[in-house]
Structure 1
Amino acid sequence: MSVVIWTDGRLHAPTDRILTGVDHGVTVGDGVFETCAVYGGRAFALTRHLRRLERSAAGLGLPAPDEDVVREAVAAVLGAAPDAGRLRLTFTGGPGPLGSHRDAPDAQRPTLVALAGPATRAATSRAVRVPWVRNERSATAGLKTTSYAENVVALAEAHRRGADEALLANTVGMLCEGTGSNVVVERDGELVTPPLSSGCLAGITRELLLEWGADAGLPVREAAADELPYDVLDDVLAGRAQLALTGSIRNVSPVSALDEQDVVPGPLSRAAAELFQARALDDLDP
């Protein structure tokens, strides 16, 4: 299927020219975004994604998106693409200076783009470690911004090595996240995910897994600040631990290969994947 795009109040084809060359999201990456899975023409966990879009915009210093307009855009693209598997919302600073500074607040005209398109989901994931790190003290740590060049480089390295995700440490050597996923380590009879203080994104799937896991009696929790050093991944290669990734399209995905070595997904990781899929289909806007 082709991608359906909405901006400036109407639908567009993928070949339409819809952004000005001086949009601040284009010139300096001054923007935020959200990606939602789509089931049966409805965006999954849309309300939670809109709350995070608003938080990311505030953290970047952008005005709050108009939720009514965003929901209108969502309805338009999903109405035009009922078989879509993915929804993306992008909100930028709009036309602005060529430098990093912005126009005065009363002169800003933010850009909202919504698009719906295909998505694929694999039962398991293949990950590799890469030499670059997340800066947990960055001004944009924890914000879902359009400044994704670091992720592009890291993911290209993962693909070169036959994987679909790259795993990053932070500046103090703790396990942080993937380029587009949160990480869950299975060991000692529980599932543990790095804390937000590590610099990782507050993933919606991560958040729901913590909530739904607790409801179902699944032993899943957020780690203490120094509990998951990056070399915990050595334990995965040695069979002393297992790994899963979470994300809006992959949901909960047990890892079946790390650093080009096959590994066996753990039973709790598989149970978490099954639990999440069942709960997601039961409630599309939890």
Structure 2
Amino acid sequence: MDTVVWVNGRLVGEDESTLSALDHGITVGDGAFETCTVVGGNVFALTRHLARLRRSLTGLGLDLSDDDEARCVAGLRDVIAATGPIDGRLRITVTSGIGPLGSGRTTSPFTVVVAAQASVMTPEGRAARSPWTRNERSAVVGLKTTSYAENVVALADAVARGGDEALLANTRGELCEGTGSNVFVEIDGELLTPPLDSGCLAGITRELLLEWGREAGLPVREAVLPFSVLDRVTVGEAHLVVTSSGRNVQPVTWLDGVAVAAGPVSLAARELFDRLHRERNDP
């Protein structure tokens, strides 16, 4: 299925010119976005995604008004009506609108873009350690912004080496996150994920796995982990999982060219999330 796109109030063609060349989202990446899972034509965890979109924009110094949020929801409804009952993904992007060529802003109505397409999640992932680090003291740490060049470069490097995700340390040498995912490591029967002060994004799937895992009695919790913990994965002493709206809970079975096994807690977490995300549309 082709991608269905809505821009500032109307459905548009994929190749239709719809944004100003001076939109600040294009010139300097001044905006935020959310990618949501679509299950049978329903947008999963929408309330949480809209709350995080507002937090990201606030962190950028942009105030998402109730009217702007209503525009996002209107676009979402139009797009879902056009796609029908698909399984896939939907992205909401909000930029600061038309601005100068430099980093400064002028007052302008926000640009809102909503797009969706059918897609299939793969049950397993392939990861590679990135040579670059995440700055846990960045001005935009923890914000889901459209300034994604670092992630693009790191992911391209991982793909060139046979992976589909790159894993990043922070500047303290701790395991942080992937370019578009959170990371869990299964060690000694527990599933551990870096805390938010590592610099990782507050992922919706991460958040729900922690909540649902505890509810179901799975041993999942936050813990500071050295980046070198990945050495334990490659020798079979630990197991690795990445989570995101595009992956759900995805055990990694290939790390830096080495085939690795999915752990029992990791597989139980995948099964739990696969079931509950279809039962609970807006948790």
TM-score of the superposed pair, with normalisation by structure 1:
0.96
Say whether 1:266 aligns with 2:263. yes
Contact 1:167 1:177 in 2 (8 A): yes
**Counterpart residue type for residue 19 of structure 1:** L
Whether the 8 Å contact between 2:33 and 2:91 is mirrored in structure 1 is: yes
Aligned to 1:237: 234
Cα distance change on mapping 1:84 and 1:7 into 2, 3 Å = farther
1:68 to 53, 67, 70: 70
CA distance in structure 1 between the aligned counterparts of 2:168 and 2:41, rounded to whole angstroms:
34
SS at match of 1:158: helix
Give the structure 2 partner of residue 91 of structure 1.
94
1:74-153 counterparts in 2 under 5 A?
74-82=76-84, 83=86, 85-103=88-106, 107-153=107-153
The CA distance in 2 between the partners of 1:124 and 1:219, in whole Å, is 21
Q: Distance in 2 between matches of 1:183 and 1:264?
A: 16
Q: 1:181-215 CA distances to partner (integer Å, 9 max, x unpaired)?
A: 00000001100000000000000000000000010
Partner of residue 189, structure 1? 189
Report the Cα offset of residue 86 of structure 1.
Answer: 0.9
Q: Are 1:285 and 2:282 an aligned pair? A: yes
Q: Supply the distance in 2 between the matched residues of 1:58 and 1:17 (Cα, whole angstroms).
A: 29
Alignment of 1:190-269 (within 5 A): 190-223=190-223, 227-269=224-266
In structure 2, the CA distance between the partners of 1:84 and 1:278, relative to structure 1 (3 Å rule), is: closer
How many angstroms does 1:120 deviate by? Answer: 2.6
- Separation of aligned partners in 2, 1:163 and 1:276: 23
Q: Which secondary structure does the structure 1 equivalent of 2:129 belong to?
A: strand
Asked if structure 1 preserves the Cα contact closer than 8 Å seen for 2:87 and 2:120, the reply is no
- Paired with 1:46 and 1:56, the residues of 2 have a C-alpha distance of 15
SS in structure 1 of the partner of residue 138 of structure 2: coil
Structure 1 residue ranges without an equivalent (≥5): none
Task: Confirm or deny: 8 A CA contact 2:36 2:91 kept in the other structure.
Answer: yes
Residue matched to 2:175: 175
Q: Give, in whole Å, the separation in 2 of the partners of 1:273 and 1:43.
A: 20
Deviations 1:42-80 (A, max 9, x none): 111111000000000000011215222211111000100
- Matched residues in 1 for 2:103 and 2:155: separation? 26
> Structure 2 CA distance, aligned partners of 1:119 and 1:245?
18
Q: Is the 8 A contact 1:37 1:85 kept in 2?
A: yes
Structure 2 residue matching 1:69: 3-state secondary structure: helix
The residue number in structure 2 matching 1:276 is 273
Amino acid at match of 1:91: V
Instruction: Give the distance between the partners of 1:187 and 1:80, measured in 2 at CA.
Output: 44
Q: What is the DSSP-based 3-state SS (H/G/I as helix, E as strand, rest coil) of the residue aligned with 1:240?
A: coil
Identity %: 60
Is the contact between residue 49 and residue 204 of structure 1 (CA under 8 Å) also seen in structure 2?
yes
Shift of the 84–276 alpha-carbon distance from structure 1 to 2, 3 Å rule, reads closer
* TM-score, length-scaled by structure 2: 0.97
Q: Which of structure 1's runs of 4+ aligned residues deviate more than 3 A?
A: none
Q: Partners of 1:134 and 1:125 in 2: how far apart? A: 21
Superposed CA offset, 1:112-151 (max 9, x none): 0001113231110000001000000000000000000011
Given the alignment of the two structures, is residue 13 of structure 1 paired with residue 13 of structure 2, yes or no?
yes
Please give the alpha-carbon distance, in whole angstroms, between the structure 2 residues aligned to 1:152 and 1:125: 18
Name the count of aligned residue pairs. Answer: 280
